[in-house]
Amino acid sequence: MALWGSRWRKSLEEVVEDFTYSLYFDKRLWKVDLLGTLAHVVMLNKIGIISQEELAVLKDEIKNLYLEISNNPDLIRDSEDIHTFVEESLTKRIGDIGKKIHTGRSRNDQVILDLRLYLREETCDIAELLINLRKVLLELSKKFISTPMPGYTHLQQAQPVTLSHYFLAYDAMFSRDLQRLEDIYKRVDVLPLGSGALAGSTIPLDREYTAELLNFSKISDNSMDAVSDRDFVLEFLFFSALTYNHLSRLAEEIILWATKEFSFVKLPEEYSTGSSMMPQKRNPDVAELTRGKCGKLIGNLVNMFTIMKGLPLSYNRDLQEDKPSLFSSIDELKIALRVWIGFLPKIEFDTERMYKLSSEDFLFATDIAEYLVLKGVPFREAHKIVGEVVRFCEENNKKFRELSLEEWRGFSELFDRDIFDLLNPESSLNLKKTYGSPNPVINKDVIKKREEELRNIIDRWHKLKSSLPDLMRLLDKV
């Protein structure tokens, strides 16, 4: 009989049991369910609901169950969900004492407690992966600090940049992702236990003590909101989708660069595949799958929004469906981050080809216009003059370098011999004055600031992770 079934005369239809069954996905919450149960019974002991002798029995059996499942996860079975499994398992072992563990607790606040405990741990793990990815990007940025390559707008060659500048652009994206994750953690780190089904309890539960045991920084202050709040899940799903979107953009970059037409990179064999028919192929499957899987995380976010959009207060069974989306996004994001942490350092970059293409004359057109601006020409007039030079070169099959000084002066008397000094990527890069540009001197400073920022981030996440409760340590403590 289900834990709630005492007033039911008829059993659920088998098809309904199958329809409502959630153990196959929520069983991954078993550790945090035991942890939350331990903290709850310790608190019940503190307020006199559970005796010291009963607490000792409960602690022993919670520990035993924890160790048994750790050694054999297949023990989790034959229950409608993980919460029922834990309570039924303890009750079978210790009888009436086990029936006390749900005192002052509803499935509603138990479920959301487990989800918050679980997500705190996962955010710490994902933060560590993002930090490691950023370390890779910053190392590549240092390695290629002065490596010119063409930059693009509209997928058309635009101006010379550096390979370092590309990596710093993606590092900026993942830096914002880490900031978002740190902000989300604050809203995950709220204790809901003690909210009951929706209206708290007449039992004087010591919620502050429970929060202390589980190292929550805050306690929810509205019981109806506490059991039905999934904003933090939505925020996390948005973070996951956006972070994966950044991976997908990086993936598209590598896919393009690996084509014969670009030929900027050679893919490592251990991160690419061949063709079953064409022996010469080396396919960017890692990048393509990253691009393809991104839709799944966006879909998980949309799915959760759809679940939440019409729910009245407070708890509704629809909320059971929050976990498949959340778990899916966590799993997909973690494995993708691990792949890219290993993939990026093994890519071979054809810096000679990048240099050759970044030396194409027309990439310096903007620099030439600004050359005229610095000599007093209004920018729009300078733009017109250089446009006329470009058209002349196109019509006469010439390059900027092939024009004589007299030809340059035919467009403006302000052109002098120093115009020829502009026509190489090194000058284009080194003459950049604005902070945030691809000038290698400026980017060295940017990298130093990013590395200092990352060290501070590492320290903060290390403190958060080290503060997370562990069941075995909590057993020793209480």
- Catalytic status, residue 154: yes
How far apart CA 292 and CA 31 sit, in angstroms, is 32
How far apart CA 38 and CA 209 sit, in angstroms, is 13
Q: Following DSSP, what letter does each residue of 103-154 receive, concatenated?
A: TT--HHHHHHHHHHHHHHHHHHHHHHHHHHHHHHHHHHHHHTTT-EEEEEET
How far apart CA 35 and CA 32 sit, in angstroms, is 5
Residue 148 main-chain phi, psi, to 5 deg: -70, 150
How far apart CA 380 and CA 216 sit, in angstroms, is 59
How far apart CA 217 and CA 191 sit, in angstroms, is 8
First-to-final CA distance of the chain: 33
Residue 211 main-chain phi, psi, to 5 deg: -60, -40
Length of the chain: 478
**Number of Cα atoms under 13 Å in the Cβ half of residue 365:** 16
Q: Is 306 helix (H, G, I), strand (E, B) or coil?
A: helix
Nearest to 322 by CA among 240, 230, 241, 238: 230
Distance, CA of 354 to chain centre? 31
Distance, CA of 51 to chain centre? 45
Bridge pairing between strands 218-219 and 190-191: parallel
Task: Tell me the helix, strand and coil percentages in the chain, rounded to 5.
Answer: 70, 5, 25
Q: Residue 351: which H helix or E strand, with range?
A: helix 351-358
Contact 115, 63 (CB under 8 A): no
CA angle, residues 473, 474, 478, in degrees to nearest 5: 125
- Options 51, 70, 263, 275, the catalytic residue: 275
Pull the structure tokens for residue 79: 């229950």
- Options 154, 276, 404, 466, the catalytic residue: 154
- Catalytic status, residue 79: no
How far apart CA 143 and CA 212 sit, in angstroms, is 46
Nearest to 439 by CA among 449, 448, 429: 429
Active site residues: 154, 275
